[in-house]
Chains A and B, each alone.
Chain A
Amino acid sequence: MGNIDLIKQCQLGDSGSFSELYHLHRKKALGTAYLISNQKGIAEDIVQESFIECFQKIRTIKNPEAFEAWFYKILVRTGWRMVKKHNYLLLVGDQNIEGLSTAMDFNSELDTSETNLMIHEALARLSLPLKTVVILYYFNDMTIEKISKVLDCFPGTVKSRLYNARRQLHDVFKENELSESAVNVFFSTRKEYGLDGNA
């Protein structure tokens, strides 16, 4: 059954369609909530609250094609509210580092995992609106227009937020590259002078 048919069935009160709709969107919704909140527990709460609100108000949708934007609007708002409520510090903790190392493919380069950590660190430093735009654009593959509908703002605002977020991420990368090259220079100089510890 297609998404639109499912929504129409849900509007008629079919609980089977509710379940199907939930299973169709749960993974993406949980991912988005997790990226916004950075904590598994809060992410699950956000998804739960969002689906409850979605099922309660699904009858109000006039255009089923706009379901995704409508649902993510609920999800993002619930996410922001919960993150603010828990006064959660969006910093990459030890738990995330462990999680990443287990989730990563061992054959992939170490560099990639470091880059990922760097990105998460940089994302955690972004404000909630900037971070949300990045998540919706890169993770949910939404267009600027769709994001503007989700966030209830002008497409120009989304563009500027995306630009600012990219610039900040780029700056973080640059900083890290510079520090890395400084470390390399330091170690190569130590080697030259025979101070690498093995000598």
Chain B
Amino acid sequence: MEMHELDNQIKRALLCKTNEIEPSEEAFTLILAGLEKKQAHRTFKTSYKHYIITLLCALSVIFGITLTRSVDVKSSGMELINSVKTAIILDKSNIVFEKNADEVIKQTAISDNIQLAKADTSKNVGVSVFLLQTFAGCFLFNQVNDLELYLRFLIIGRMTLTQSWYNNKFRHGQVPSY
């Protein structure tokens, strides 16, 4: 059989087969009903998204608080101080000399507990601000309905990362320097 003849045969067979079926009149009504149903489902899905985001926020708050509680700033500060063995001191006559750190620094640091307490508070404040920003980000992006859920999470994730990077980079002033 020639190829063009085969082409014609295929075309004829396909057209012949589709003559069997006729679109029903109520199909469009069904489509409209389906559209309405999908829109209702979408509204439900949006509220469902709200629940998920609220749950995530709640989890982040719980996790953040647990993390803050678990980090003992005072003991880690003590460990840091204990690791210092010698101190180089510059006296009034501009002479540099080494001295045993146990005697010089440790006693001063232990007696001055205020600085350590301050450090703890600043950490708490930092975490609270960070959580508040996450909350704000979540709710703001949730308002943009056309945005896909994964995209929202991606943006929130990016924001969180940027915020933590910013905190690490520029907020060293809040962490006590020993």
Contacts and interface: CB of A to CB of B under 8 A. Distances in A.
Interface of A: 19, 22-23, 26-27, 30-31, 34-35, 40, 43-44, 47-49, 51-52, 55-56, 96, 99-100, 102-104, 112, 115-116, 119-120, 123, 134-135, 138-139, 166, 169-170, 173-174, 177
B80 interface: no
B104 interface: no
Secondary structure at the A interface, as helix, strand, loop or mixed, is helix
Q: Among the interface residues A43, A116, A173, which one has the most CB atoms of the partner chain B within 10 A?
A: A116
B16 A103 contact: yes
A139 B14 contact: yes
Interface string B20-37: 110110011011001100
Contacts, number: 89
B81 to A, nearest CB: 62
A103 B20 CA distance: 6
Given A52-B35, A170-B1, A173-B1, A26 B6 contact: no
Interface of B: 1, 3, 6-7, 9-21, 23-24, 27-28, 30-31, 34-35, 38
Contact of A169 (B10, B15, B17): B10
A135 B11 CA distance: 9
A34 B23 contact: no
Given A115-B9, A116-B13, A138-B11, A56 B31 contact: no
